[in-house]
A and B are shown apart, each in its own frame.
Chain A
């Protein structure tokens, strides 16, 4: 859906004159994926991929089979910014059923050639992603198991809440415990213990493909959650808003 792509890029705007019209005229290819399917393999390049529905993860599988997940994508995210310019060193996999819209390399290169504002928007998108990655790095390096889990849950909920995909403390999280463990650098045994602790403390529960936040304030405090780490970077022009209100 070109309109969603334009809206997504608008978050990193401002977009230059004529770019919306050019994007509207582009042909996006739609693809659907089931949970666990690879959306983009490592090494692929020169595609602009927009997640239109569902949740996806970026991950690397090591030689010994161990896996590190290092981000979760929500609808409206441009999920293959690395592959756009240099070839991704990681793969993107569907966490649940997903729909992806893809703009091919030739059209994209023409747009990038013509439109400096598209280059700038994509650069801001990369910088936004880098900021979220630094938060992830802080979690893995400096936060306790409970704190990094709390921070992760707050991110997943907050990002969906900004899209109205979360309400009444509930949102989708079609992940099993091994997915969460691989995202947070913990063993499955450890994450099982942490999840039980969060549930017993009345903070959050994960079950049946969903996340339920029981006490946002205490969970955010435990995880030292700062939504600024995920807010789209703009050129100070009042760009597309991500709502800043506290989740309900």
Chain B
């Protein structure tokens, strides 16, 4: 069973705002940026596989860049 990537949205008060599973995301960071754009209530998206957090994509800087 392939371990899926798990995208977890986190609000500024540390609440979880969504959990998405994805087995075949080609570009996890791009997917996380898309989720940040979709979920305005979350400040960052953590990308997990199994026990490891492989990346954290924050809104800070993203909105400024877009």
| Interface of A toward B, CB cutoff 8 Å | 1, 3-4, 6-8, 10-11, 13-15, 20, 32, 53-54, 75-76, 97, 99, 163-165, 237-243
Contacts and interface: CB of A to CB of B under 8 A. Distances in A.
A6 B16 contact: yes
Interface in B13-42: 14-22, 39, 41
B53 interface: yes
B42 to A, nearest CB: 9
B53 A165 contact: no
B41 A238 contact: yes
Contacts of B18: 240-243
Main secondary structure of the interface of B (DSSP, over half): strand
Can you list the 5 inter-chain pairs with the closest CB atoms, starting with the nearest? A10-B16, A164-B20, A7-B16, A240-B16, A7-B19
Interface of B: 1, 3-4, 6-9, 14-22, 39, 41, 46, 48, 50-51, 53
Contacts, number: 58
Given A97-B1, A163-B20, 20 more contacts: A1-B6, A1-B48, A1-B50, A1-B51, A3-B6, A3-B53, A6-B16, A20-B14, A53-B1, A53-B3, A54-B1, A75-B21, A163-B21, A164-B22, A238-B41, A239-B15, A240-B18, A241-B9, A241-B41, A242-B18
B34 to A, nearest CB: 11
Contacts of A32: 1
Nearest to A54: B1
A243 B50 CA distance: 24
B16 to A, nearest CB: 4
Contacts of A165: 21
B15 A4 contact: no
Given A20-B14, A241-B41, A4 B19 contact: yes
A35 B65 CA distance: 47
A240 B17 contact: yes
19 contacts: A3-B46, A4-B8, A4-B48, A7-B16, A7-B19, A8-B19, A10-B16, A15-B15, A32-B1, A53-B1, A53-B3, A53-B4, A97-B1, A164-B21, A165-B21, A240-B15, A240-B19, A241-B41, A242-B18
